[in-house]
Chain A
């Protein structure tokens, strides 16, 4: 590819200029020019950004995420048909983690399903699978009386994450955020913009909010900067995809293309509790039933390195004798736990906590053991 073609192919969020002004290190993430981390000179870097979210607050531009709206008399039936969780359990204003499955019970994508109205649902999907997901949803809901709209380019989506996120956002909105429980949504004014969707969701294993403001460079920059100003007293920092990845890894939140993909099924990924087999019908259900009876050949486990070394994505997992038994899906130093952690697929006989294995790091088998997951669980609020 010539540089000209590369430049034309890369996509930018409405906040792209803001990230560059702040000196963010930019990377190509699934075709999107996104900040991976902000400079040390402004108190950032992956570790500082990560710790800010765990102990205070950080903000992320997640506008690259996609959004699909389903609305109409049969919207619920359509959502039920294409997703594995039970959307009938959602009250208006409630959200749930779910997934779109292929008939063979592997993943089209994982999604958050928000019930915005009586007959209105919003699916928030991954950046790298936007087009595929929309086509899948549209093509598989044609039999329902329900409009399917791709709103992916309509929003600047900003995540305000961390225990102090609620305090920061409350300064900027008339919505009563203390009344919004985790995985619920509301609408309110934000930074003077009316009727903004505010969801208490995130991808950091921490409390936090995601707001959906109209996609516009001027509006986006103003909201971003107002959040940073409002968060100053709480030590807010802008956070990039680097911290987003380490935060979600500590919380064992799956990443498409790593823990879940079109070749991995729900049972292997251990996402059983988001898959409601009591639902009589949904795409992938028959294969899931068959798969459950057959059992899995591999399962997702958490590893902690017991010897010096950092497991990285796609490294081989070996048994103690050095035979290849599986692979790492995501691996990194954990900034909060200060250990080297990884998620990996291994045969079920290696899944019990405490099992000793090795990870092949640059040709060497390095000691690791299976540990309980998630690696990090946020403390329950005392009040």
Chain B
């Protein structure tokens, strides 16, 4: 299982899977099927980019039935403290063991721009609340009949301002046992981020580096101008521009980044723009 593998110090591979927009899970299962046995766990998103989709609890259950280990995303955007806790108790009762928390993209970015933004808790407070549930008490101090046993993590950008580093430290203090990062394109810059994490919580805080395989110069430009915390370096963009087969080059570059990261962090998290059709190949080329 992912938790044991990560904590044992073995290099761990996760991949992002989105629940369907609708009740038909066949597309999601097909997507997950492409990476079955190539990854240690799938990370199941929670209305990512504020676009309404099936609940990650339900999607995780469907994936677990097919033998996948899962990490469930949980954002602060859509639920107040009652809903977050009841969702977590429900998830625990259905066998979900790993949770990764985040603030959540603002509703106006998504397909229900008029939705009320909740943000009753922030990610630091949500991690602390999960620690309490793991200790058998709720946020108000009431005792639970049966406690949770979540392995909780947080997300982070890798190039951080001083105030963002302080927040990262608070996430670790509040119970984040692992960090999944935004996409990394310059592994050389990753050491500094790793040092921040280890300074805050020691080497037992596991770091999984995000990987977005590039498909073309267009993908790179899109990421640079639309995704916070992502910076595709100019030399990569130039290589893609002059390549006769940017798709193949993107796969190669992702594998190169993973190889470089192997000695620096505890795992990688593949989050393709689009499908996982190349994920297996990237991992093979990276020697995983």
* A and B bind: no
Interfacial residues, chain B to chain A (CB-CB below 8 A): none
